[in-house]
Amino acid sequence: PSGNLGISVLGHIDGVGSKIGHKLLDGHGGIIQNIANATQEQLQSVEGVGPKLSTRIHSFFRRDWR
C-alpha cells in the first residue's frame, strides 16, 4: 500500500518516526506527493510538526525527492 511507501520515505527525515509519519499521511490524504508539495505552514498544521521539523521535511522534498 502507498501508506507503507510513505512511511518508508518519511523515515529518511530526521525527527520523523512512525507516529509523525502516520499523522502526516493522515493529514494529507494518505498521499506522499501531497506532503512533498505541502508548504511549511501546511506541514505545521499536523500535530507534532513544529517549525524546525517542517523545515526539515520541506527541505528533504525540495532537495532529495525528485
For residue range 23-66, what is the model confidence (pLDDT) as tens digits?
999 999 999 999 999 999 999 999 999 999 999 999 999 986 65
pTM: 0.87
Q: Taking 80 as the threshold, does the pLDDT of residue 8 lie above it?
A: yes
Q: Where are the alpha helices (DSSP H) in the chain?
A: 2-10, 18-27, 32-37, 40-44, 51-63
- Tell me, what's the pLDDT at 65? 60
For residue 7, the model assigns a pLDDT of 86
pLDDT tier, 3 (very low <50, low <70, confident <90, very high otherwise) = low
- What residues contact 26, with CB distance under 8 A and at least 6 apart? none
Q: Is 11 helix (H, G, I), strand (E, B) or coil?
A: coil
